[in-house]
Amino acid sequence: MVRQKDSLYEFNPGKFIMPLEYSFLLQDILNFEVRPDDVWLISFNRTGSTWCQEIIWLIANNLDFEKATSTIQQLRAPVIEMSLYYADNPEFCKVFGGNSVEYVKGLPSPRFIKSHVPYFHLPTQLHTIKPKIIYLTRNPKDVCQSYHPHMQMFFGMNVNFEETAKMFCKGKVPLGDMLDHALEFWKRRNEPHILFLKYEDLRSNTKGTIRLIAEFLEKPLTDEEIDKIYDFLTLTKMKDNPSVNMETLTAFHEKNGRDNGGVPFIGNGKIGAWKERMTPEISKMFDDWIEEKTEGTGLQF
């Protein structure tokens, strides 16, 4: 197969849409050796996973704010398929040795691992060893709103918002169908090693959700510790923190001709931001798609 620049391919099962380079990582991810004390965060893109991962990491690392500021999240709590997303950035790939799966393998326990791949593409040992897994989802309308500039920056997809919305509802954007992605974990949400979260709860009840995550990780926090995490991870401070704001990586893409309209990697986090851009027709298209996909599941947004 000949690779075309910025081309995307469908990988099955799961109709997962990714660049061709994913084919070189898939088997390594499936065969990845899971440890019982791993902590995994799994989500679709643009659901608030960078924010949630910082909460997880800080709780488990005794509120080490110094390291959370000095060491980028991609090295402390890497995305296992990370080398796929930065394949065209050789300088950054050198930082983790070029293969993110191998990099994660070599991390000391406990490891904090993030992934955006769907359920059927995750390590098979997750189903038997069952480490702690946190799944994060978000209102698909807000995900689409945030995903549009992200697709331009990271996947070179220069399409208008209306076309992005249509592709999103058809599951034809990078990562594929967001609801299929979420539903695999929603139907497993009652398994004791899985915590299913919604961005809206994290945003509207941040301190309560921090406490919930801490209890799930068996690392209870005092009210004072929760306040410290809350203050450290305000959106304003995250936008100014180079360890999470991705400024060096987005600058690389901008230098190489990928324009996302100046939208920062850390967005405004607003619930209902889709209302500022979606027409009534696009909103209804989303409503119909969500209703069809989630009927009888109990999952609501």
Confirm whether 266 is domain-assigned: yes
Q: Look over the chain and give the mean of its residue pLDDT values, rounded to a whole number.
A: 89
3-class DSSP state of 4: coil
- Band of pLDDT at residue 259, cut at 50, 70 and 90: low
Straight-line distance from the first to the last Cα atom of the chain, in angstroms, rounded to the nearest whole number: 40
Quote helix, strand, coil % in the chain, to nearest 5: 50, 10, 40
- For residue 97, count other CB atoms closer than 10 A to its CB: 11
Number of domains the chain contains: 1
Range with the lowest mean pLDDT among 165-174, 190-199, 253-262, 289-298? 253-262
Q: Before 220, cis peptide (omega within 30)?
A: no
Domain containing 220 — which CATH number?
3.40.50.300
Q: Residue 126 above 70 pLDDT?
A: yes
Evaluate if residue 104 carries a pLDDT over 70.
yes
Global confidence as pTM: 0.91
pLDDT digits (tens, 9 = 90+) for 131-171: 999 999 999 999 999 888 878 777 778 889 999 999 999 99
In a domain, 1, yes or no: no
- Active site residue: 116, 148, 150, 253, which one? 116
* 281-297 residue pLDDT tens: 999 999 999 999 999 99
Closest alpha carbon to 299 in 229, 206, 196, 201: 196
35-44, 95-104, 199-208, 267-276: least confident range: 267-276
pLDDT recorded at residue 5: 55
With respect to residue 299, please indicate whether it lies within any of the assigned structural domains.
no
Q: 263-273: string of b/e by CB count within 10 Å (b at 16+)? A: bebbbebeeeb
Q: What is the pLDDT of residue 122?
A: 98
What six digits make up the tokens of 237? Answer: 């401070």
Q: Region 238-252: what's the mean pLDDT? A: 67
Q: Is the pLDDT of residue 130 over 90?
A: yes
Active site (annotated) includes residue 116: yes
**pLDDT at residue 89 is higher than 60:** yes
DSSP-based three-state secondary structure for 41? strand
pLDDT, position 2 = 38
The number of residues making up the chain comes to 301
Q: Residues of the chain with pLDDT > 70: what percent?
A: 90
Could you give the CA distance from residue 52 to residue 50 in angstroms, rounded to a whole number? 6
Condensed to tens digits (0 to 9), the pLDDT of residues 18-77 reads 988 899 899 999 999 999 999 999 999 999 999 999 999 999 999 999 999 999 898 999
Report yes or no on 161 lying in a domain: yes
Q: Which domain holds residue 20?
A: 9-294
Question: How many CB atoms within 10 Å of residue 9?
Answer: 15
Give me the residue label for tokens 């004072």: 224
Output the pLDDT for position 3. 43
User: Residue 286 has what pLDDT?
Assistant: 98
How confident is the model at residue 1, as a pLDDT? Answer: 38
Model pLDDT, residue 95: 78
With respect to residue 112, please indicate whether it lies within any of the assigned structural domains: yes
